Amino acid sequence: QQKVQQSPESLSVPEGGMASLNCTSSDRNFQYFWWYRQHSGEGPKALMSIFSDGDKKEGRFTAHLNKASLHVSLHIRDSQPSDSALYFCAASELSGSWQLIFGSGTQLTVMP
Amino acid sequence: GGIITQTPKFLIGQEGQKLTLKCQQNFNHDTMYWYRQDSGKGLRLIYYSITENDLQKGDLSEGYDASREKKSSFSLTVTSAQKNEMAVFLCASSSGLGGIAETLYFGSGTRLTVL
């Protein structure tokens, strides 16, 4: 079983709509989370990190972390066609030897 | 800002061949990484290096060698290319010595095809 699991695998939303992506860690040591976005033909780029319980908002993007359930979500409001990309959730350990573990990604398509 | 340059962008090799991928960064970052991206499997860490001449194995290091010749460059060698090596190899860097609060900066990848 992958340590970081994402759902759904793919998602389509209309332009201006809300996109919601989910991620869960199966290892309690991995509870620091990142969201990365990858456009076709490019490398992933960091969107935001979240390390504390609750919400973190950056522009149209809001991440929500529940440490008790090791669940993190990413919500994109007013989705734009340029938001169409592969979104990765990644988790890292509390301390010690670190490693950033990536999920398998959610492919988001925003339809004009 | 800085940039990570990966060469070549496309690499076609023969099964059993030894192939080398190169990565350069001008961020002056200490730590560099090689990840492999397969469709539907996310990114998996092959090797990372926290300083010149340092090498640390990731979960996917078998079948690969790496070399950190200087702070700005990190090479990855596929020791014997296999048919199932068709993937995108991503190089990344980060500013510190590895830690939870670091942003990874990625190159655009080398796409490997093995015939």
- Mean pLDDT on A90-99: 74
- Which one of B39, B49, B104 makes the best mutation probe of the A interface by having the most chain A beta carbons within 10 Å? B104
Q: What is the pLDDT of residues B28-54, one digit of tens each?
A: 999 999 999 998 778 999 999 989 999
Q: Which residue of B has its CA nearest to A46?
A: B103
Q: What is the pLDDT of residues A51-60, one digit of tens each?
A: 999 999 999 9
Cβ of A43 within 8 Å of Cβ of B109? The answer is yes
- Mean pLDDT on A36-56: 95
- Mean pLDDT on A44-65: 96
Task: Pick A2 or A95 by higher pLDDT.
Answer: A2
Taking contacts as CB-CB distances below 8 angstroms, the residues of chain B near A10 are none
What is the CB neighbour count within 10 angstroms for residue A59? 10
- Give the pairing of strands B56-57 and B10-13: unpaired
Cβ of A100 within 8 Å of Cβ of B45? The answer is yes
- Mean pLDDT on B65-90: 93
Classify the phi-psi angles of B100: left when phi > 0, otherwise alpha if psi is within -120 to 50, otherwise beta.
alpha
pLDDT > 70 fraction of chain B, expressed in percent and rounded: 96
pLDDT, residue B102, reads 82
Taking contacts as CB-CB distances below 8 angstroms, the residues of chain B near A43 are 4, 90, 92, 106-109
CB pairs under 8 A between A and B: 51
- For the cut 90, the answer to whether the pLDDT of residue B97 exceeds it is no
pLDDT, residue B101, reads 66
Cα angle A55, B43, A1; round to 5: 80
pLDDT, residue A94, reads 67
**CA torsion, ordered B2, B78, B85, A9, to nearest 10 deg:** -30
Q: How confident is the model at residue B84 (pLDDT cuts 50, 70, 90)?
A: confident
- For the cut 90, the answer to whether the pLDDT of residue A83 exceeds it is yes
pLDDT, residue A29, reads 82
Q: What is the pLDDT of residues B12-30, one digit of tens each?
A: 999 999 999 999 999 999 9
